[in-house]
């Protein structure tokens, strides 16, 4: 509570400064810290040289953490949100999220007021163009302003990248907990240039992760997919759909078949055994890795019998 009060008091002082004549005269973009100086092209080049190799090797979750660290070497921000969504009736439906120095209740609170988020219509109207907003902006309604206060967001810089074929929106929102220094024109330009690459490396990271999963299973015929908490498939290897169709011939893709959702997505690990398939799921942050293979005789054994069968199998291989 004391921290919240301190933030509120500091914010009131800064708002007063922002509207003072002296502050308005100095409303031009402020210079970046020393560690974020240098030409945009040079910063972008150094960032991409590390970003693409990282996408090939890092696990999901670890990749986003290191991505934020790399960004902070070239952009000064206090907290951040990286998310992927599709638009439903003009409103973002979130599929995956990565947060940097934001509280656990950030997403749930945003979901409650997302229809009042002033950044959404602005980035929608000009995809790829950075949008910079201060907490003092008159376009921000009181409810959303209180939300930004609770999460120490005095400045917001947002840019999106859109995949029109999939209606997939990737956004990066950077926040500063002070009204000064301002996000500069250089910050906006770098964010704009790096955003398509961030969308690309997220895809690369997921696909490479699925490839590693497939290879570690050995000779078994196993396919894998990554889906969100509602079962919407975000990535899948080439054979995944063919295997699912063995169990549900009428399935049309896009989302996991409804019978799978309770068993697979209700906990850290889930399982489903059908007439033709065996599926397993495990959580990957706020996403799920789903592995599917043709059903084997061992899938219908009791846990005790399965354990014994495995021991016999290991003995036979010795």
More confident residue, 1 or 270: 270
Q: What is the pLDDT confidence band of residue 306, given thresholds at 50, 70 and 90?
A: very low
Distance CA 60, CA 274 (A): 29
Ordered by start, the domain boundaries in the chain are 2-208, 217-317
Q: What is the CA radius of gyration of the chain?
A: 23
Report whether pLDDT(11) > 80.
no
**SS3 state of residue 245:** helix
What average pLDDT does the segment 277-289 reach?
90
pLDDT of residue 115: 96
The Cα-based distances of 225 to 62, 251, 289 in angstroms read 19, 15, 6
Q: What is the pLDDT confidence band of residue 309, given thresholds at 50, 70 and 90?
A: very low
What average pLDDT does the segment 9-38 reach?
44
Residue pLDDT, tens place only, 157-196: 999 999 988 889 999 999 999 999 999 999 999 999 999 9
Distance CA 232, CA 280 (A): 16
Same fold across 2-208 and 217-317: yes
The Cα-based distances of 218 to 49, 56, 160, 214 in angstroms read 32, 20, 39, 8
Sheet holding 168-176, edge to edge: 91-100, 79-88, 168-176, 155-163, 131-134
Q: Domain 2-208 belongs to what topology?
A: Beta-Lactamase (3.30.450)
pLDDT of residue 213: 85
Tell me the pLDDT of the chain averaged across its residues. 84
Nearest residue to 206 via CA among 96, 94, 90, 280: 96
Distance CA 91, CA 85 (A): 9
Distance CA 28, CA 190 (A): 18
- Burial pattern 257-280, b for ≥16 Cβ within 10 A else e, equals beebbeebbeeeebebebeebbbb
Is the CB of residue 162 less than 8 Å from the CB of residue 127? yes
Distance CA 228, CA 265 (A): 9
**SS3 state of residue 161:** strand
pLDDT of residue 117: 97
More confident residue, 141 or 34: 141
Q: Give the sign of the dihedral formed by CA 89, CA 260, CA 59, CA 294.
A: negative
Report whether pLDDT(301) > 70.
no
Report whether pLDDT(280) > 70.
yes
**SS3 state of residue 28:** coil
Question: H helices within 157-265, ranges in order?
Answer: 185-216, 240-247, 260-265
- Name 94's bridge partners: 85
Q: Domain 217-317 belongs to what topology?
A: Beta-Lactamase (3.30.450)
Q: H-helix or E-strand containing 108? A: helix 106-113
Report whether pLDDT(2) > 70.
no
Which range is least confidently modeled, 188-192, 228-232, 266-270, 297-301?
297-301
Nearest residue to 52 via CA among 196, 205, 163: 205
Residue pLDDT, tens place only, 61-98: 999 999 999 999 999 999 999 999 999 988 999 999 99
Distance CA 266, CA 251 (A): 22
Residue with tokens 């759909």: 241
Residue with tokens 């929608």: 124
CB proximity list for 27: less than 8 A, separation 6 or greater: 182
User: Percentage of residues in the chain with pLDDT exceeding 90?
Assistant: 64
Report whether pLDDT(28) > 50.
no
Q: Give backbone dihedrals phi and psi of 12, rounded to 5 degrees, phi first.
A: -60, -40
């Amino acid at each position: 509570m004391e921290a919240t009060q301190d933030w509120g008091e500091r914010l009131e002082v800064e708002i007063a400064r922002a509207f003072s004549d002296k502050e308005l005269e100095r409303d031009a973009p402020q210079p970046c810290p020393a560690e974020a100086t240098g030409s945009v092209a040079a910063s972008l080049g150094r960032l991409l040289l590390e970003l693409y190799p990282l996408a090939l090797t890092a696990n999901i979750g670890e990749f986003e953490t290191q991505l934020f660290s790399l960004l902070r070497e070239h952009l000064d921000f206090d907290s951040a949100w990286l998310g992927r969504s599709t638009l439903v009736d003009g409103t973002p439906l979130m599929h995956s999220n990565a947060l940097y120095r934001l509280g656990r209740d950030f997403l749930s609170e945003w979901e409650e007021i997302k229809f009042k988020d002033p950044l959404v219509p602005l980035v929608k109207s000009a995809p790829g163009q950075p949008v910079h907003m201060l907490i003092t902006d008159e376009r921000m309604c009181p409810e959303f302003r209180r939300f930004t206060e609770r999460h120490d967001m005095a400045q917001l810089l947002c840019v999106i990248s859109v995949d029109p074929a999939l209606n997939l929106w990737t956004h990066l929102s950077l926040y500063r907990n002070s009204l000064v220094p301002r996000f500069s024109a250089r910050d906006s330009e770098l964010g704009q240039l790096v955003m398509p690459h961030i969308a690309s490396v997220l895809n690369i990271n997921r696909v490479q992760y699925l490839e590693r999963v497939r290879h570690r299973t050995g000779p078994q015929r196993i396919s894998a997919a990554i889906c969100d908490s509602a079962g919407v498939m975000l990535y899948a290897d080439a054979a995944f759909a063919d295997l699912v169709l063995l169990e549900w011939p009428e399935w049309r893709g896009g989302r996991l078949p409804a019978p799978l959702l309770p068993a697979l997505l209700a906990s850290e690990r889930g399982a489903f055994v059908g007439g033709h398939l065996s599926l397993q799921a495990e959580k990957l942050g706020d996403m799920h890795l789903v592995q599917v293979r043709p059903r084997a005789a061992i899938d219908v054994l009791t846990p005790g019998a399965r354990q014994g069968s495995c021991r016999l199998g290991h003995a036979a291989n010795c």
